[in-house]
Structure formats: structure tokens, C-alpha cells
Structure 1
């Protein structure tokens, strides 16, 4: 082999080596770039949810953004670290406030570790969708606290915080409009993608005749199709006006009473009339707000073939409550109503045999019943029910079914707190204190605690009792392990 040939071979070997080096270098550059994008998504969507609304809207927001950008990450606020804040460039927050200005349970650990510190978040831009209810004090307080804290840390707003009252569609449109201006893409309303069910009213029964409290009704609804839900899920009902109210309104406006107008007015808010300028009746109706939805825990299982609710009839200065009055008195036999099953994963049960402690009062029995029925269906027997109402003689709700579970080993322990049966009122938190040793034992065995019922009084009292008995650190640990779950209202 001549020297010239050897030189050519050497040159080719060098060129081949350089070619392979470039290929490997480009591969690692692409991989590192992709890894960087995954570590720092273009948008991080964070939700803080108590009853599921915030999580649903966070995921809907992310789904819309992924149409043009696949680097979108959704995260529960309880899994958000301070390191995430230091690394992320843009965060969209969807956070709820429940009760009198309280942050969701899942947000407490973040509040404890973040709100007490001063951080440099000047690199961060954010927007907040704050969900709340104006019927309570301190409307959307957690969302506004979050905004204040972020601004104090030098973070920049992408657009003004959106405050939403009872999931009002017009309020939610502001969030979609803000996202559209931010991304130059069109967003669809979640309501348009939600399937509204047509349910038939089948049966109602007063469960506490003679009680000094408001009447409590069992209400059963039937669908035309096989419906699917899990224990802990919620039925959102589209409220409607009573026929008498619609006809009275049409008469007051000197309009004909016919089926078309009655159907058109059935879900419009006739208690809050917009100003009427020089316009036709039909043009005026386009300015009306829709009646809000009302939410109820589903007490039955999908296997039962019907939806069962437990509804306390509310009475206000203007008459019966909008939702409760319609369900307990206004609906006629076989009348059709519109509803949506909202999944509530934060109140779902794990499919395992861990001990279960169920605590609640009043119509909160619905959520507890669903879990007990599910546990019976699965064959898990280590269950403990603590329930409170007013009078044992009249308010012993679902006594027969509870007694059956006791007799057949599906309820290890049942404690009742009937507050009006003795001179000194007792409540479910008093039962917890009386059974503190048993509570500690069950928790040590891995028990999960589920609370359903009144936010005012009961939920706070139970939370305080648990802190006294278990200690703050252990209770926070239970929250992190999703062993302390609440559906309170």
C-alpha cells in the first residue's frame, strides 16, 4: 500500500470521526433541550381545590393550551415546592376559597412554607383564577391573598386576577378572554364541553317529620342511560323557576303564556332583572343571567341504578331556597331536570381495606352513606361512623340501614351526637374527644378520616378536636397522605 493511499485513509478516518462526533453532539443537545423544556414547562398550571372545581378548570385550561404548546404541566398546590417557584417563568393559578375566606385544605402546607418567607420572584409572571361565593364573607380571599403575596415577592401579573362567584359563566369568560389575549388563540368554555344529563324526578320522602329543624328529604332521580360515578362525587343541578313564577312574570310583562316562552324563561334569573331600555322583549331576555347551579353529594352508588340526594329544605325571607325548594316541593312527578355529575377526586375512597372513620352531620349523611355503601360493596368492614343531628326521635336518618351494617359487621363503631336531647348540647367533636384513645389507635393502624357536612360549627369543631387529640404535625401528615379528606359546605 502506497503512502498516498495511507494518507487518504487517515483523512477519511478523521472525517468519519468528526462526523460521528457532530451526530452525537447534536443528539445530546436535542436531548438536553427536551429535558430542559420538560423541567421548565412554558406554563405551569397550579390548582388549589376543595370540592373539585379548581382542579377541573385547571385541567381544562391546560388542555386548551396544549393545542398549541405541549409543554404544559398541571400540579396540585400541595406538591408545589419553593424550588418550582424559583425555576418557573410563568404560572397560571386556579384556586378556590371556601367558607368564610378559608384556603383549601390542600393549600395549607404551601401557605405554611411560602407565605412566611421572602422570595425573589422577579423572574415570574402569573395570572390567577379565583373561585368563591359572594354569599360568604371574605369573597375569594385566598386568591387575593395569593396575588398580594406574589406581588410582594416582585412577581409580575400577566393580566388582572379574575374573581368568580359561584362558577358564574360571565365571570369565567373573563379568564378565557385573558388567556386568549395572552396566547392569541381561541379558548372554549368548559360548559360547552360538559354533558348535561336529563334526569327524571322519581321520588321524594321527608326523613324527619316532627323535627324542630328544617325538613330533610330523600330525593331520587333516574336517568335514561347508564350513569357512572364514584362515591364522593357531586351532582350539579341546573336550578329552574317554578311554573307559577314564570307565568306570573309573563303576565307582569304583558306577554303571552305559551310553552316556548315558559321553556325559555325556565332557567333565567327572574329575581334579578336587568335594566330595560328601548328594546324588544326578546332582546331584553338576552341580558338575563341564568339561574345558578346547586350542588349535592350523591348518596347512592351507580350500581343502584338511580341518583339519591339528601336535601334540607331551606327557607329564606323571600320563600323557599332556590335549589332546595325546587327539589323538595317544586318538582312534579316525572318532571325532567338538567344536571351534571362532577367528579370529586379529593373525596374519593382508596380501593383498599384500610380502616375508615366517617364524621358528619345533617345532610352530610349523603356523602357518608355513599362511602359506607361502597365499602359494603367492596367487602371492607372496618368502618366507624360518627354522626350528629338534633333529636334522636325524629332525626335518626337512615337508622334501618345503619343498624343493618352494624348487625352484619360493616360498622365496628357508631357514635351519635343528638344535640337537643339533653340540657347541655353535644356535637360530633365531643364524640371524638370521648373516643380519643380509639381514634389514636385507628389512625396508628392506617385509618383515613372523611368529614362531610356543615362548614360552620361542625367542620371547624372536628378539625380543632383532631388537632387536640392527634397533634398538629400528625394531622398535617394525614393531609399530605390524603388520609384526612373533607367535603364541607
Structure 2
């Protein structure tokens, strides 16, 4: 081999070595950058969700921000550490408040460990999207409480906290506008991305004729054969005005029946009208607010071939409630409900044979029914139902199906609390106290607790009873292990 050839080989070897060094260095830099971005993302989006809305909006926020910056991390508040607060530069919070100002169950551990401390968060900038409902006292209280605590820790606010009433689109626009000012990028509206599906009205039946309480209806809807959902999921329906309400409105305002106008009025709020100024009728109704959506636990499974709801009529100052009135009286044969199935992972079942304790009252039977139907479908038999209503004679909802599950071994235990059937009222939390030994035994065997129904009275009473019987620490541990789940309203 000549000297010239050796020189060429040596040069090529050096070039190859240099090339490999550059490749390894670039890969190391990329890994280092990726690791750094994971430890300290440009934005950390934290959600505290009870029924799924806050998580949906947190993920939508992250998805939109990734259009301009891929270093975005989404985290459940129950997984948030003190180190996250002290190391992160910018946090966007999406938090819900439910009931009378309560924080979501998933937020309790964070509140206990963080709110009791004094931290130096002067390096931290934040913004808060607070979801709530003005029909309840202490509107968006958890979001406002979180803001107050962050400011006390010297954190800096990026823009004013956005308070959202029942997912009002105009309120949510403020959040998107705030993010757009931060990023100088136009962001998309989640509401426009959610597809509303037509569900055909199939059947309804009053389940508690003669009851001293408001009528409760089973409402069945039929959709596309390919619709899928899980037990624990929720149906959001678009409320509509019935034909009579539209006719009365047109007569009141001296307008003739018009198919186009009537169709437009179906989903507009005719109960709270904007002031009519010097404008045409068409211009005036363009200013109307859209009717709200309402949520109902789905009682059926896709295998049942339909969506089943359990709806109690609500009385308001202007008549029947928007959702309950539409579903139990306004909706007519061959009409469709515009609806959206919203997944509710916080109330889904694990696919295993662990014992299941199902507790609820009233229309909360819907969520419990779905879980029992799912457990039967999977073949898991260790189930315990505790259910409360007013009178056994009239309010024994789904008695035949519950009896079937008992007869075929899918319900180990059933306890009822019919509050009006004796002089001293009895509630589901009283059943827990009576069955305290069984409760503790089931929990020790790994049982999960699912509560569905009214927050005020029932769910709060159950929570207090569980803390008395199991201890506060044990109840908090059940929440962390996702063995204590609630779908309450």
C-alpha cells in the first residue's frame, strides 16, 4: 500500500471520526434540550376537574399553545408537587368549582399540602380559567381562592382570572383572547370543534307516578349504531324551545309563522330578551343568547342499543327547567335532540373484579345503573347498592332490574333509604353507619366507592359518614388511589 493511499485513508478516518463526534454531540444536545423542556416546560397547564370539563379545556389549551411552542406539559392537580411550583416559570390553571363552592375531589391533596405553606413564588407567572355555575352560591370560589393564594405567595398574574358560567361561550372567549395576547397567535374555539349529534326521541315513561316529589322520567334516545361510550359518561344536550313557546313568542311580537325564523328561535333564549332598539326584528333576535346545554348521566351501554337518561322535572319561576322541560314534555315523536357524548374518565370503572360499592339517590340511579350493567356485562358479581328516595311505594326506581341482579348474583347486598316511609327520616349515609362493619370489610378487600346524585344532603352526608367510619386519612387515600369517585350535582 503506497504512502499516498495511507494518507487518504487516514484523512477519511479523521473525517469519519469528526462526523461521528458531531452526530453524537447533536444527539446529546437534543436529549439535553428535551430533558430540560420536560423538567421545565415553557408552559405547565394544570387542571382540577370534577366531571371532565376542566380537563377538556386544559388539554384544548395545551393543544392550541403547541401551535407556537411544543414545550407544553399538562398535569392533573393531584400530581402537582411543591417542586413544580418552585421550579416552573409559567403555569396556566384550569380549575372547576362545583356545588356550594367546593374544589374538585382531585384538588384536595394539593390544597392540604400547598395552601398551608408560605412559598416564594415571585418567579412564577400564572393565569386561571375558573369554571363554575352562577346558580350556586360562591361562584367559581376555588378558582378565586387559588388566585388569592398565588398572589399571597408573590406570584405574578399574566391576565385577569376568567370566570366562566356554565361554559358560556362569551366567557370562554376571554380565556382564548388572553392566550392570544400572550402568544400573538389566533387560537381555535373548542365549542366549534365539538360535533353535536342528532339523537332521535324513542320513548319516555314516568317512573314515580303518585310520588310527593317531582316526576322522574326514563327518556330513551336512538343514535347512530357506531356511537360508543363507557359507563360513567355524560350526555350534553342542547336545550330547545318547544313549538308552543315559539308560537306564543311570535304572536306576542306580532310576527307570522315563518319556517326560517321558527327554526332560528328553537335554540335561542326567549326568557331573557335584550332591549329592542331601533332595529329590525331579525337584527334584534341576532342579539339573543343561545339556550344553555344540560348534562345527564347515561344509564345505558352501547350494547343496549340506545341512550337512556333519568330526568327529574325541575320547576322554575318561568315554568319547567330548560333541560327537564325539553326532554320530558317538549320533545315530540320524530323530533331529534342535538347532543354530545362527553367522556368522564373520573367516573369510569376499572376492568377488574374488585368489589364495588355504589351509593346514590334520585336521578343518580342513572350513573349507578350504567355501572351495574357494565359489571354484569363483564361478569363481575361483588356489587353493593345503597340507594335513597322518598317513598318505596312510588319511588322504587328500576325495582325489577335490581331484583333481577339480586336473583342472578350480581348484587351481593342492596340497602334502601326511603326517607318518607317512617316518622324519622332515613338517608343513605344512615345505611352506611348501620353497615359500618361490612363497609370496612369491603374497603379492606380493595373495594371502590362510586357516588352519584345530589351533592347537597346526599353526597356531602355520605362523605361525612365515610370520614367518621373510615377516618379522614383513609378517605383521602381512597381518593388518591381513585377508589372513591363522585358524579354529583
So what's the TM-score if we normalise by structure 1? 0.96
**CA contact 2:225–2:305 (8 Å) conserved in 1:** no
Q: Quote the residue 2:260 is aligned against.
A: 260
| Worse overlay, 249-258 or 188-197 | 249-258
Q: Structure 1's 285 and 435: CA in aligned 2 closer, same or farther, altered over 3 A?
A: same
Structure 1 unmatched ranges of 5 or more: none
SS for the counterpart of 1:294 is strand
Deviations 1:423-480 (A, max 9, x none): 0000000000000010000000000000000111000100000001111111111000
**1:24-423 counterparts in 2 under 5 A?**
24-423=24-423
1:217 deviates by: 0.6
1:188 deviates by: 1.2
1:274 deviates by: 1.0
Q: Structure 1's 233 and 22: CA in aligned 2 closer, same or farther, altered over 3 A?
A: closer
1:225 deviates by: 3.9
1:330 deviates by: 1.3
**CA contact 2:359–2:386 (8 Å) conserved in 1:** yes
Q: Quote the residue 1:440 is aligned against.
A: 440
1:17 deviates by: 7.3
SS for the counterpart of 1:227 is coil
Q: Structure 1's 9 and 461: CA in aligned 2 closer, same or farther, altered over 3 A?
A: same
1:186 deviates by: 1.2
Structure 2 unmatched ranges of 5 or more: none
Q: Distance in 2 between matches of 1:180 and 1:153?
A: 26
Q: Distance in 2 between matches of 1:10 and 1:409?
A: 81
Verify: 1:451 aligned to 2:429, yes or no: no
Q: Distance in 2 between matches of 1:437 and 1:259?
A: 64
Q: Quote the residue 1:481 is aligned against.
A: 481
SS for the counterpart of 1:35 is helix
SS for the counterpart of 1:423 is coil
Q: Distance in 2 between matches of 1:10 and 1:311?
A: 83
CA RMSD of aligned residues (A): 2.1
| Worse overlay, 418-427 or 245-254 | 245-254
Q: Distance in 1 between matches of 2:53 and 2:109?
A: 20
Equivalent pairs, count = 489
Q: Distance in 1 between matches of 2:105 and 2:322?
A: 29
So what's the TM-score if we normalise by structure 2? 0.96
1:134 deviates by: 0.2
Q: Distance in 1 between matches of 2:249 and 2:398?
A: 40
1:13 deviates by: 9.0
Deviations 1:154-179 (A, max 9, x none): 11111111000011111111111111
1:25 deviates by: 4.3
SS for the counterpart of 1:134 is coil
1:259 deviates by: 1.4
Q: Quote the residue 1:430 is aligned against.
A: 430
